[in-house]
Amino acid sequence: MTKHQQLQRRLGVFDATSIGLGSMLGAGVFVVFAPAAELAGMLLAVSIVIAGAVAYCNAVASAQLAAKYPHSGGTYIYGRKQLGEWPGFLAGWGFVTGKTASCAAMAFTFGQYVAPGYATPVAIAAVAVLTGVNLFGITRTAFLTRILLGIVLATLVFVAVASVMGPHPERAAASAVSGAGPGGAAGVLPAAGLVFFAFAGYARIATLGEEVRDPAKVIPRAILGALAGAFTIYLVLALLLLGHLPLAQLAASPAPLLDAVKHSQLAAGAPFVQAGAAAASLGALLALITGVGRTTMAMARERDLPAPLARIGGRHTVPFVAELAVAAVVIVLLLTSKVLTVVGFSSFGVLMYYAVANAAAYTLTERPWHAPKWLNALGLAGCLVLAFTLPQASVLTMAAVLAAGVAGRAVVLRLHGRRGRSA
């Protein structure tokens, strides 16, 4: 068996929770409410509750598995250990491809807020700088994440205060009761699938399992703590926005939190919200690059991706080849794609990733009292329902990407089998 150099365990509960919460409060919190409100209308809060419930099931499953397998790679490793190589590969491939697209989207969002006329070059610069931060070690990553998270939380508090202060528009009683206007009951599940994408940041904690101190205790606490914080923030903000902005304006806004401030008594604070959105984008991008790099490294260790991607080195013992490869792919996407359109595609991949996590957790024989098997089954069903109620283009695109990965692995395995027999 090949021995791989191990990463160093440096993260405690606070750092790990910060990385997870920083991921969940990334650029998504500044943009997700508008498309979700367009789908669900006044029932937006219901979509958030559904997404939060599915996310809770997934968080419990991830915590169970991460405590048993405290290694980098997250559900890719859990799937391989509990279900077999193919389910593990499907989870890992869905995570790497979907989240690499998300990295490009977060970088581009940062570029748009900082310098709209030069969004792409600014986005590329952000990817280069944050990859450099990651190469200086995971403690630097956690330190910068804490700074960015503090800025984002201050921004969200400011938005909440502005929304409470008003002024508030008059609304027809029928609209408030029935969800009339944009969206409605039929859009609740698709909106939940979209909001779930914003909750998926706790996966970053599991992918860092090899760098967490006392992972059996730290990882479950960090995952559940980060999810509880994010759920509370998203639900409160949704209710405040619905009460502050006309529904049609909220659903059509490219920057709903910025609009909430501009249409309040604190309109002079709009630049502060723009700065917060930029910080959120950077925080999400930093955590995404970190998590994708670690999963890429784990897949390379098992030869599901090219072996050089598993190399760890440098003074700070980081997976530098995987980190640089992820950065290169993100830059190519920035130069060749309309990256904001691919975020929806990655939702399908992320939900498949967590479907495997729930299936793997279901097979565990030893489990804490708060993680019964029925909770894993509910999480699996919830992931599949949300995945297949996403817009058809998202489902078909990511299904094709996943199929291409499966076909590629099958070809490689067949070639290796032939070489083995010929030898």
pLDDT band at 343 (very low <50, low <70, confident <90, very high): low
Going by C-alpha positions, the residue among 264, 329, 334 that lies closest to residue 105 is 334
pLDDT band at 317 (very low <50, low <70, confident <90, very high): low
Cα–Cα distances in angstroms (integers) from residue 181 to residues 37, 241, 246, 286, in the given order: 10, 16, 10, 38
What whole-number distance in Å separates Cα of residue 278 and Cα of residue 141? 17
Among 103-112, 212-221, 267-276, 290-299, the least confident range: 212-221
- Residues forming beta bridges with residue 11, ordered by sequence position: 212
Q: What letter represents residue 168's amino acid? A: H
Instruction: For the chain, give the mean pLDDT.
Output: 80
pTM over 0.85: no
Q: What letter represents residue 2's amino acid? A: T
Residue 224's contacts (CB-CB under 8 Å, 6 or more residues apart) are 59, 60, 63
For the stretch 214-253, pLDDT in tens is 666 777 778 788 888 889 999 999 999 998 888 888 888 8
Map out the domains of the chain with their CATH numbers: 13-422 (1.20.1740.10)
What whole-number distance in Å separates Cα of residue 133 and Cα of residue 117? 26
Asked if residue 73 lies in contact with residue 96, where contact means CB atoms within 8 angstroms, the answer is no
Going by C-alpha positions, the residue among 80, 70, 129 that lies closest to residue 294 is 70
Residue 60's contacts (CB-CB under 8 Å, 6 or more residues apart) are 224, 361, 370, 371, 375, 376, 379
CA atoms within 13 A on the CB side of 319: 31
CA atoms within 13 A on the CB side of 16: 30
